[in-house]
Amino acid sequence: MLTEQECLDLCELSEEEIQAIAEHEHVPEVIAAELGQCLVQTHAGQWLIRRYIMEDIAHAQVMGRVGRVAELNGVLERFEANHPTYDLRPKPPRKLPQPYRPH
């Protein structure tokens, strides 16, 4: 059987990112690590983790927790640097090459 620390160590996310997920979802860190590991595998999941962190920042701002806001901003910056594929905005369609037709 794996210990809690071994579960956390197997996750591709940092301890701070796992804590942010746990805070957002109100679950223990070991559950947050499992959830985060599943989410980080897809672009949509990475986008959702980013959203969780951003919502944690907004909540900390409302609560007046300036120190926590600064910590979470650092977590968000590192997450975006390590997982740059979170962006789900639609890309403009590529124009297919057209056959050459002499006039």
Per-residue pLDDT of the chain (103 residues; tens, 9 = 90+): 777 777 677 788 999 999 999 999 999 999 999 999 999 998 889 989 999 999 999 999 999 999 999 999 999 999 989 887 655 566 666 676 667 777 6
**Structural domain count of the chain:** 1
Domain hosting 66: range is 11-82
Note whether residue 46 is domain-resident: yes
| pTM for the full predicted model | 0.78
Residue type present at position 16? E
Sequence-separated (6 or more) residues with CB below 8 Å from residue 76: 50, 53, 54, 57
Note whether residue 103 is domain-resident: no
Sequence-separated (6 or more) residues with CB below 8 Å from residue 15: 8
21 three-state secondary structure: helix
Whether the Cβ atoms of residue 7 and residue 33 lie closer than 8 Å to each other: yes
Note whether residue 93 is domain-resident: no
pLDDT of residue 84: 78
pLDDT of residue 92: 67
